[in-house]
Structure 1
Amino acid sequence: MSMSSRFSRVGKGALAIAAATWCLGGPALAAAPESNDPIKIALFDWTSVNLNAKILGGILEKLGYTVEYPTADYLSSLTTGLTNGDLTVAMEFWDTTAGEAMKASDATGQTEKLGPLGPKAKEEWWYPLYMKDKCPGLPNWEALKDPKCAEAFATPETAPNGRYVGGPVTWEGFDDERVVSLGLPFTVIHAGTDAAMFAELDSAYQREAPIILWVYSPHWAPAKYKGEWVEFPEYTAECYTDPAWGVNKDALYDCGKPFGDIWKYAWGGMKEKWPVAHKVAKAYTIDTDVLNAMSGKIDLDGMSPEDVAAEWIAENEATWKKWAE
């Protein structure tokens, strides 16, 4: 008998025991996970994804599973760790930045798209409203082409160019290419980490200092700070693949970033090896406002992701138990 068949048969028996235990009011699956091998939930380099990982992991631990949290690279995990089973689940792949990587992952046939997380994704250049007086044509992107507007966003390291604070380089997003293709007099400076990027925003905002940077939603920042996203030419697939599309007939990426969903992914073997855990991961969704508020507890109030996750798990027991039924 193959290893996969053995796990399938063991899993069915475990599910029967779990169902009986649940009906008797006991802790479902606490004594009978389908496999004791660790379910590996990926951690990336921003707050919300790691919070979602800890919530899912905490639920699975309540159900008797062993859980580990390896740190992984955002995009390459789709075509390496999740394809070979080194990772079991990853909770956030954004249409805004991971579209091509998701297509490549789907083409392998070794991963499973578990469905949307719930919130809609938006990632774009963002500026505080106090900067609008210095660049009055905003939010239209063409205002940024004015040298005076660029100088308003300049720092000593970039002058006379404006300074745009991009996300960590692993997020991609094509901002370096966008600056060139749209002829913007800006220099892209990539933040080392998500936390550093938003610490810089907070510092600048308190002083009303010049700043324009990558801000995304869901996140607490658009609720805490008054500002606007730049309105670039609307994204289409051709903008990223056909130079003849758009305002620059010789270049790609002469548009804004795509908007869309945030997706969960699993290793293709998860459903067979851990069927109840797979069911929970597939059913898992979170409300945008709830996720923003919880992320703020971590980044603004100093709570640990584990403590915030534990709060959610305790307050939503009826919800996640239904996911496991």
Structure 2
Amino acid sequence: MAFRVLPLYLYAFIGLLVALPSASQSQEPIKIITNNWTSQIVLSEITGHIFQSMGSSVEYLPSSISDQWGALAHGAAHVQIEIWEGTMSDQFNRLVADGKIIDAGSHYATTREDWWYPKYVEELCPGLPDWKALKACTAIFKRPSSRGEGVYFAAPWEKPDEARIRALGLNFQVRTLPNGDALWAELTKSYAAKQPIVLFNWTPNWVESRYEGAFVEFPKHSAACETDPSWGINKQFVYDCGNPRDGWLKKAATVSFKQDYECAFSTLKSIRFNNQQIASIAALVDVEKMSFQAAAEQWLNSNTSLWQSWIPQECKQ
């Protein structure tokens, strides 16, 4: 077969095509959502550093839980590294089913979010962790301004605490604090004085790496508990149960992320943290007072072989 000599301008054009980045390796920054709690922010920083080691640029996009779904669905953000079943499953499952976002897999960690108390409280309130013990010892959870009710310290994340109190007949009021730091300030103060306290907590979280305690065991959660008053021990009201136990912890990505950042998407699917790892990472910030960035860097430096194993061999620089 005879070969034709191409004009010089065609060689130049072919060279330009070879030099252009492929569609699966976009040169635009990867936008990672950060929420307002420690483990999510540090895991986002760790993920960003891993993507940067692969040659991508990264931007962090602070967002509330409610606002993040629109950002993901419309491509204004690319990645959310810590999706909690107990708080985010409805929106997550709906968007995945609608083809608006991609389920990028689960972490090893299992989650729980509910009422929690330090272990010493069991000596002062026999019967715990069974929730019915709270009825018998409400008085020990009072605060000067609580009008004789026990106080449950809640977080600003949406939970049906007041509905649960009504359905289960508890004499408690909900005192909602502005953020996790305010929760831990109340815990630290109460723990030092061995004062009874019941507050919102979750796992994985730094608290389990520093304090011994337990979740209150309410009636086991069921989907019917949230919608059917006839379910459970109270036939008039819904939410006569606790929050789900052993929930999943997932990662989400935009639909375009899989095509535009093929290597980063494959790596995201492989990133999987367990409860102990996440608790220890969060403790670096909340206990040892490191910055989010410094905590991420320390973890990366101490776990190089692990995070490098998450990157496919063909994607390594």
The TM-score bracket by the shorter chain reads 0.7 to 0.9
Please give the per-residue CA displacement for 1:41-70, whole angstroms capped at 9, x wherever unaligned: 111111111111000001111112111111
Q: Which has the larger radius of gyration?
A: 2
**Is 1:99 aligned to residue 89 of structure 2?**
yes
| TM-score (norm. length: structure 1) | 0.85
User: Of residues 26, 30, 52 in structure 1, which corresponds to 2:43?
Assistant: 52
Large movers: runs of 4+ above 4 Å: none
User: Of residues 160, 176, 179 in structure 1, which corresponds to 2:165?
Assistant: 179
Q: What is the identity, as a one-letter code, of the residue corresponding to 2:155?
A: G
| TM-score (norm. length: structure 2) | 0.87
Structure 1 partner of 2:206: 220
Please give the per-residue CA displacement for 1:91-149, whole angstroms capped at 9, x wherever unaligned: 11111222222222223311011111221101111112222233212211112223xx1
Please give the per-residue CA displacement for 1:288-322, whole angstroms capped at 9, x wherever unaligned: 22221121111111111211211222333333334
Please give the per-residue CA displacement for 1:244-298, whole angstroms capped at 9, x wherever unaligned: 1111112211101002111111111100111111111111112322221121111
Aligned length: 295
CA RMSD of aligned residues (A): 2.1
How high is the sequence identity, in percent, across the aligned residues?
Answer: 34
Cα pair distance change 1:33/1:322, threshold 3 Å: farther
Q: What is the identity, as a one-letter code, of the residue corresponding to 1:167?
A: A
Cα pair distance change 1:223/1:261, threshold 3 Å: same
Structure 1 partner of 2:140: 152
Please say if residues 33 and 65 of structure 1, whose CA atoms lie closer than 8 Å, have aligned partners that are also in contact.
no
Q: What is the identity, as a one-letter code, of the residue corresponding to 2:271?
A: Y
User: Of residues 255, 260, 263 in structure 1, which corresponds to 2:250?
Assistant: 263
Q: Distance in 1 between matches of 2:288 and 2:209?
A: 15
Structure 2 partner of 1:278: 265
Tell me, what secondary structure is at the counterpart of 2:108? Answer: strand
Cα distance, 1:323 vs. partner?
2.7
Q: What is the identity, as a one-letter code, of the residue corresponding to 1:242?
A: D
Structure 1: gaps (5+ residues)? 1-9, 16-31
Bigger drift between 219-228 and 190-199 goes to 219-228
Structure 2: gaps (5+ residues)? 1-16, 313-317
Tell me, what secondary structure is at the counterpart of 1:216? Answer: strand
**Is 1:70 aligned to residue 57 of structure 2?**
no
Cα pair distance change 1:228/1:318, threshold 3 Å: closer
Q: Distance in 1 between matches of 2:250 and 2:277?
A: 17
Structure 2 partner of 1:167: 155
Tell me, what secondary structure is at the counterpart of 1:42? Answer: strand
Cα distance, 1:71 vs. partner?
0.8
Tell me, what secondary structure is at the counterpart of 1:120? Answer: coil
Q: Distance in 2 between matches of 1:113 and 1:97?
A: 16
